[in-house]
């Protein structure tokens, strides 16, 4: 559902902001015990909110998704955030954030004493950011992680129950709202036609 929505709105966002640039950001933390996943996700989301409130954060809009993979020890969980961010055309000449600075900012917002792993890549001007939709909105958990360990899966399910996996913010959220309104209009019309028959 989210992929379908993203594929519908992104072409219009790109058409309306043709000179804007796009960043693909992955923010991680150390693995946590599976029974501490909900608490860890809450902490990460609060840290990300702090990041977006910094003056240096210049994204005009973004899509954020949560992914959780099983730790290499087969016990822990590895939660991380994927973000597709739309930044000003001038980002690379004014306001560019180096990789080292990204790590420092994420560490500061997490309020931790270790350097977290951060990946940031710019989407080339001639490439369409839609190519990243499958990466950002692929899955919350790998299928292989779901079937490998019943107890781990059940605890994961419990920890993620009623948590928000995807957020659309800023300019991009306006397009999502417009899409929702258009779908509601279509649904209302369809219902009226059914009633009239």
> Model pTM greater than 0.85?
no
**What is the structure's pLDDT at 158?**
85
Q: Has residue 97 got a pLDDT over 50?
A: yes
The count of structural domains within the chain is 1
- What integer best gives the mean pLDDT of the chain? 82
Cβ contact 63:19 at 8 Å? no
Cβ contact 95:107 at 8 Å? no
- Phi, psi angles (nearest 5°) of residue 71: -65, 155
Report pLDDT digits (tens) over 126-136.
777 766 665 66
Cβ contact 30:117 at 8 Å? no
Residue 51 domain boundaries: 2-196
Question: How far is CA 172 from its chain centroid?
Answer: 12
Q: What is the mean pLDDT of residues 72-77?
A: 88
Report pLDDT digits (tens) over 37-57.
999 999 999 999 999 999 999
């Amino acid at each position: 559902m989210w992929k379908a929505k993203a594929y519908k709105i992104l072409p219009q966002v790109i058409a309306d902001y043709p000179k804007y640039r796009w960043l693909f950001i992955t923010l991680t933390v150390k693995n946590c015990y599976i029974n501490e996943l909900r608490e860890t996700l809450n902490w990460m989301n609060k840290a990300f909110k702090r990041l977006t409130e910094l003056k240096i954060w210049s994204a005009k809009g973004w899509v954020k998704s949560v992914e959780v993979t099983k730790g290499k020890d087969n016990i822990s969980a590895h939660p991380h955030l994927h973000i597709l961010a739309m930044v000003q055309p001038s980002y690379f000449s004014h306001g560019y954030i180096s990789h080292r600075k990204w790590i420092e900012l994420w560490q500061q917002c997490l309020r931790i004493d270790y350097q977290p792993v951060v990946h940031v890549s710019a989407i080339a001007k001639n490439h369409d950011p839609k190519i990243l939709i499958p990466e950002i909105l692929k899955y919350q958990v790998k299928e292989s992680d779901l079937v490998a360990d019943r107890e781990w899966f059940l605890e994961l399910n419990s920890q993620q129950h009623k948590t928000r996996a995807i957020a659309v913010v800023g300019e991009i959220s306006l397009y999502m709202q417009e899409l929702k309104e258009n779908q509601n209009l279509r649904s209302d019309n369809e219902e009226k036609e059914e009633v009239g028959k």
